[in-house]
Amino acid sequence: MVKAALLREQGGPLELCEIELPAPGPRQVRIRISAAGVCHSDLSLANGTLTQPVPAVLGHEGAGVVVEIGSEVTRVAVGDKVVLNWSPACGECWFCDRDEPYLCEGSVASEASAQPYATLADGTPVYAGLGTGAFAEETVVDERAAVKVPDQTDLSDVAVMGCAVLTGAGAVFHTADVQPGQSVVIIGLGGIGLSVAQAARVAGAHPIIGVDMSEEKGKVAAEHGVTDFVPSGPDAARAIRKLTGGRGADHAFDCVGGAVTTRSAWSSTRRGGVVTVVGVGSKDSKVEFSALELYWFGRTLHGCIYGRSNPDVDVPHLLELAAQGEMDIAALRTAITDLAGIDKAFDDMREGRGIRTVVSLEQG
């Protein structure tokens, strides 16, 4: 039995309990979780914005050590340090053949999250949020959900790699393909937004303009590459145009994913500019554009799933950038808690406090 933070029903609190994990299947691995980031998607799963079978152990942004492997596992070995990939691709479908694993139609995560992966003491089946279940001392996942990292890696530092960093950096490098000298606007300065900022700085963007309700986040963002801060609100687009020669930015990244923020990103972008929607919004949140403005402004609107990343390729690349001092992944962690503190981390997220809380599960 292992300790976990359990969501019994969407909209309810998490409670500490013990779950029983099965032995890994032929292509599965058991991982002792060292640290897990508390992502906004976890909050969306908890409050019902995103559908999640319950009872469930949430947490999809994590890192740990492999402690047991199935008979057919080839990607990792016992003792390896790994980062969780919450969207492992099948490698065989039409999208995977086109080198678009983030669009995989046979996603391992979709299958894993729809099937129970553990049980409670009374035999009640338990589901893994996004197929990973990182808010627990240990988890069992498909081997493709485990990305090996170097032995010297500090797992507490890279816990946020599996979602915030891959998504934000991927949005810059892959989806938008930001070029040197281009101007960038980032709406929402959480973990993903600051990953966008760091990647934009690496790409040579200038200026890099951050937009958020919290001026405190603006001060933190200045340490991550943001050159100018604009408070969110109805005047934000006008302020951004003043900072970009009256035209608007070349690129705008909506790291919130709401109707208001997507429209703000659109209005902040120059004619011919690019808007990339990185945040996950509600299915009931509608964004409207007139046919005339779509024609006249000539802008491009991108959806962005998981930063269009391939974790097997991008995790090593991002770790190399961190080793070179180009990116500071550890700095995204602004608070540390334990399993009992996740609900407070959700409250902090709702109130816009901090950047990323990391749950420490180091034992002993």
| C-alpha closest to that of 145 among 24, 23, 4 | 24
- Tokens 């340490």 belong to 223
Give counts: helices (H), strands (E), the chain.
12, 18
Furthest-apart CA atoms within the chain: distance in Å? 65
The CA-CA-CA angle for residues 347, 349, 353, to 5°, reads 100
| For residues 83-89, average pLDDT | 93
| For residues 96-109, average pLDDT | 85
% of the chain beyond a pLDDT of 90: 80
Rounded CA gap, 253 and 256, in Å? 9
Band of pLDDT at residue 109, cut at 50, 70 and 90: low
Pairing of strands 269-277, 249-254: parallel
What is the pLDDT at residue 327?
94
Q: Are 73 and 27 in contact (CB under 8 A)?
A: yes
Task: Report how far apart, in Å, the C-alpha atoms of 201 and of each of 109, 256, 309, 327 are.
Answer: 32, 20, 18, 9
| For residues 285-291, average pLDDT | 91
% of the chain beyond a pLDDT of 70: 99
What is the pLDDT at residue 314?
95
What is the pLDDT at residue 48?
84
Residue count (the chain): 364
Domains in the chain with CATH codes: 2-162+329-360 (3.90.180.10), 165-305 (3.40.50.720)
What is the pLDDT at residue 355?
84
Q: The whole model's pTM is what? A: 0.93
What is the pLDDT at residue 106?
74
| C-alpha closest to that of 356 among 126, 342, 364 | 342
| C-alpha closest to that of 161 among 252, 60, 78 | 60
Q: Phi and psi (nearest 5°) for 144?
A: -75, -10
Tokens of 107: 């996603």
- Tokens 């002993």 belong to 364
- 144 Cβ partners below 8 Å, 6+ apart? 75, 85, 88, 89, 91, 108
Band of pLDDT at residue 363, cut at 50, 70 and 90: low
DSSP 112-129: HHHS--EE-TT--EEEEG
What is the pLDDT at residue 364?
40
Rounded CA gap, 112 and 273, in Å? 38
Q: Which of 99-113, 135-149, 253-267 has the lowest mean pLDDT?
A: 99-113
Neighbour-count burial of 47, counting CB atoms closer than 10 A to its CB (0-12 exposed, 13-18 middle, 19+ buried): middle
Q: What is the CB neighbour count within 10 angstroms for residue 203? A: 22
**In this predicted model, what pLDDT tens digit does every residue of 317-351 receive, in sequence order?**
999 999 999 999 988 988 999 999 999 999 988 88
Q: How far from each other are the two terminal CA atoms of the chain, in whole angstroms?
A: 17
**In this predicted model, what pLDDT tens digit does every residue of 19-73 receive, in sequence order?**
999 999 999 999 999 999 998 889 888 988 888 899 999 999 999 999 999 999 9
What is the pLDDT at residue 281?
82
The CA-CA-CA angle for residues 271, 295, 168, to 5°, reads 55
Sign for the pseudo-dihedral over CA of 329, 331, 335, 336: positive
Per the DSSP assignment, residues forming a β-bridge with 33 are: 64
Name residue 288's amino acid: E
Q: Is 154 helix (H, G, I), strand (E, B) or coil?
A: coil
What is the pLDDT at residue 222?
94
Pairing of strands 249-254, 125-128: unpaired
